[in-house]
Amino acid sequence: MSEDVRSTQQQVWFITGSSRGFGRALVTAALDAGDLVVATARRPEALARELEEYAGRVLTLPLDVTSPDAAHAAIDAALARFGRIDVLVNNAGYANVSPVETSDDDDFRAQFETNFWGVYNVTKAALPTLRRQGSGTVVQFSSIGGRVGGSPGIASYQAAKFAVDGFSRSLAAETAPFGVRVMVVEPSGFATDWAGSSMTVHPVPEAYDETVGAMNRLVRQGTSGGAGDPERAAEIIVRTVRRGPVPSHLLLGVNAVTMALDYSRRQLAEASAWEKVSRSADFAEPYPVELPPQET
């Protein structure tokens, strides 16, 4: 599909986690752009009332993304109403706080069920439609933490976001011949409910106070909130999707850009420093070679 055709054609969006945060902002941004929207949430009743002014252009549906059957049913309902899906947005997700050592296993797994398997379930349910259409854009919400990692206390969430990125890279390679595009969105801190009522902070043992505790006090219990504007972010995503090529990864927010560039520079420096050692593992390469000098 050419950029000109895509930018003027009314598109059908299917958005998970639409009741608040990025999902809610995206629903409004897509509707205000003149598009059609399938807005899904665990409890869509209040959302339906909020969107009454868009009657005829929006369909609200219940969806628990952890259920493959529910994902297929929601996709079928979307197709029955609008006949196609042009933009699939996997936004539903949440994070709870606890050190790995003291994490409740069921809670750790439950987060992964939503944050990764929910993406898998909804994407897989939509793929036959996107393939038959020969077009479509899959927007996968990750975070800058899903690129750089290392945030104490949210290991399940960040592990899932790393998994979403790996999954999406393979998905992009598999579906490119069908005209399907995949874009991973990597925000930094935004003024959403991610660190509010959506998050459960489990007791942090004293031994982890300087890592998990400090991060929780700085980021998740601060009073200033995230620097990012969800409405601006939603408009950027809508504008980006309506053009021709999309970036494989879309950073959103000053901190996201800063952290990504710093991480890439450190990765390159480390790979370069260890290049001879790394190459020496192959049969044809000189061996042994000296390790890089130790930092003092």
Task: List the domains of the chain with CATH numbers.
Answer: 3-252 (3.40.50.720), 263-296 (no CATH)
Catalytic (active site) residue 157: yes
Which entry of 19, 98, 142, 188 is annotated as an active-site residue? 142
Q: In sequence order, what are the residues at sequence separation of 6 or more whose Cβ sits closer than 8 angstroms to the Cβ of residue 206?
A: none
Residue 62: how many other CB atoms lie within 10 Å? 14
Catalytic (active site) residue 142: yes
- Amino acid in position 235: E
Distance separating alpha carbons of residues 98 and 156, to the nearest angstrom: 9
CB 88 within 8 A of CB 126: yes
Q: Please tell me whether the overall predicted TM-score, pTM, comes out greater than 0.85 for this model.
A: yes
Residue 212, token pair as written in the block: 């998990």
- Residue 262 has, within 13 A of its CA and on its CB side, a CA count of 9
The residue to which tokens 């700085």 are assigned: 218
Which entry of 156, 157, 168, 208 is annotated as an active-site residue? 157
Distance separating alpha carbons of residues 20 and 32, to the nearest angstrom: 17
* Helices first, then strands: H and E counts in the chain: 12, 7
Catalytic (active site) residue 161: yes
- Residue 22 has, within 13 A of its CA and on its CB side, a CA count of 28
pLDDT one-digit tens code per residue, 78-134: 999 999 999 999 999 999 999 999 999 999 999 999 999 999 999 999 999 999 999
The residue to which tokens 């790393």 are assigned: 162
The residue to which tokens 């991610």 are assigned: 194
Residue 8: the pLDDT is: 63
Residue 7: the pLDDT is: 57
Nearest to 208 by CA among 104, 97, 105, 109: 97
pLDDT per residue as tens, the chain (296 positions): 444 445 568 999 999 999 989 999 999 999 999 999 999 999 999 899 999 999 999 999 999 999 999 999 999 999 999 999 999 999 999 999 999 999 999 999 999 999 999 999 999 999 999 999 999 999 999 999 999 998 999 999 999 999 999 999 999 999 999 999 999 999 998 877 665 666 788 889 999 999 999 878 766 555 555 689 999 999 999 999 999 899 999 999 999 999 999 999 999 999 999 999 999 999 999 999 999 999 87
Distance separating alpha carbons of residues 44 and 116, to the nearest angstrom: 22
Which entry of 18, 19, 143, 161 is annotated as an active-site residue? 161
Distance separating alpha carbons of residues 138 and 123, to the nearest angstrom: 8
